[in-house]
Structure 1
Amino acid sequence: MSDKDAGTPRVFLLRHGETEWTISGRYTGRSDIPLTSGGELQVLNSARVVVGPRKLIDPSRVAHLFVSPRSRAKRTYDLLFEDYQEALEGKSETTEDIREWDYGLYEGLLTAQIREGRKGRALDKERPWNIWVDGCEEGESPAEVTERLDRIIAKIREVQGPHMYGEKGVDVVLIAHGHILRAFAKRWIGFELSMRLPMMLEPGAVGVLSYEHHKVDEPALLLGVNMGSSQ
């Protein structure tokens, strides 16, 4: 962040490491698929680079963590913060509000299979299926996903709002899944989920959100982070 924004609270989006279904591209929502050995290594490599005193995610400045209840997310939390359990004691919340999108009928399928199935049910006659617009049959709609993500955002801003100049360490960490974290980023900046905002978040990777001008009502995507500086 620039000097003028130093100390502004941040929200870190951490996607769990890869699973067998991540590798194959299958939609993985409620299925409790474990990390692969490669997925665990992804998370450990990220932890070495970004987690620790005076690093990007300094556990001493973390006020709260929201963790998906799926085992792949909880295992990612354990790997990321295995050396900082004491510093984070009482700050971690496992919540359904940050679980992956409920894919309903599409659980375990590939995008091509979903679109072919919908075609067979006489859907999508004018355009291809788009989860951000159409949601999932027997799963969640964009409105339902928005409702639960907005609850988390409200909690975060209540925690961070009084400390916009770094008076207190109030960084927040979310450990969850690819679709839901991208949905969260959209809602963070006030976008409807149907609005086009192409984003990528690799397994085991970290994204960063913050605010402009030290103002809680000016949320922003933090596109670049100076890894050599500290708050």
Structure 2
Amino acid sequence: MPDKDAGTPRVFLVRHGETEWTISGRYTGRSDIPLTKNGEEQVSSSAKVIVGSGKIIDPSRIARFFISPRTRARRTYELLFDTSAQKELEEKVVITEDIREWEYGAYEGLLTAQIRAARKERGLDQDEPWNIWESGCEEGESPAEVAARLDRIISKIREIQSPYMHGEEAVDVVLIGHGHILRAFTKRWLGFELSVKLPMMLEPGAVGVLSYEHHKVDEPAFLLGVNMGGSE
């Protein structure tokens, strides 16, 4: 069966590698926690399989990078692309706060169980446990604030990709960010409010893929399976 969507631009979601706080499950927003040795190995292992000429993420096909300013995200970029590739890609890289992790505010460094227990002690969430997708974070960001900044990036991506929906030019985009924000991005890409229940997992150092159906920019889609042979 022929691939009716061959050549359609893609958006690659790259989560940074493991950190010490990733291991413990602590909420890591603005805290600039470096990758662990294992985290660096996670990213390097992914790079060997999916990054390179003719592979899923082909540097020659990338039109733009949007990268979180946090050290763990920037280091992930350095591990994915060798020095020579970075020099060629330099003008395509945008370091932006719009793809930083969710601002956790008073919940920074805490575990989900700690947050829920503390809120319940104060008389909050008596009927249902705290859910970041619905309630956001005290002294941090609300779902609406997160959605607004992600929508700005989505608008920029669609401006880049919409003229080339049949592959007339290579305009793939790579986002390098964090667990919560990349899942939030996926919801907004598909047109869902952040409160919509859409269980997703994205392991440290892993890659997710978004695209479009029927070569139409107004039909964004989650690319459930990717041919490991590359984009051609």
- TM-score, normalised with respect to structure 1: 0.98
Q: What is the CA–CA distance in structure 2 between the aligned matches of 1:2 and 1:227, rounded to whole Å?
A: 16
Deviation at 1:2, TM superposition (A): 5.4
Structure 1 residue 183: Cα displacement: 0.1
Q: Which residue of 1 aligns with 2:35?
A: 35
What residue is the counterpart of 1:20 in the other structure? 20
Within 5 Å, give how 1:30-179 maps onto structure 2: 30-83=30-83, 84-179=85-180
Greater alpha carbon shift after TM alignment, 128-137 vs 220-229: 220-229
Alignment partners' CA distance in 2, 1:37 and 1:12: 24
Per-residue deviation, 1:44: 0.2
Secondary structure of 1:89's partner? helix
Structure 1's unaligned 5+ residue stretches are none
Distance 1:141 1:2 in 2: 43
Counterparts of 1:122 and 1:56, CA distance in 2? 49
CA distance in 1, matches of 2:79, 2:214: 34
Task: Return the offset for 1:229.
Answer: 4.3
SS in 2 for 1:85: helix
User: Are residue 223 (structure 1) and residue 195 (structure 2) matched?
Assistant: no
Contact preservation (8 Å) 1:186, 1:192? yes
Tell me, yes or no, if the aligned pair for 2:57 and 2:230 is still in contact at 8 Å.
no
State the distance in 1 between where 2:131 and 2:120 align.
Answer: 13
Query: 1:203 offset after TM fit, Å?
Result: 0.0
Instruction: Name the aligned partner's letter for residue 179 of structure 1.
Output: H
Instruction: Let me know the Cα RMSD of the aligned residues.
Output: 1.1
Q: Aligned-pair distance for 1:89?
A: 2.1
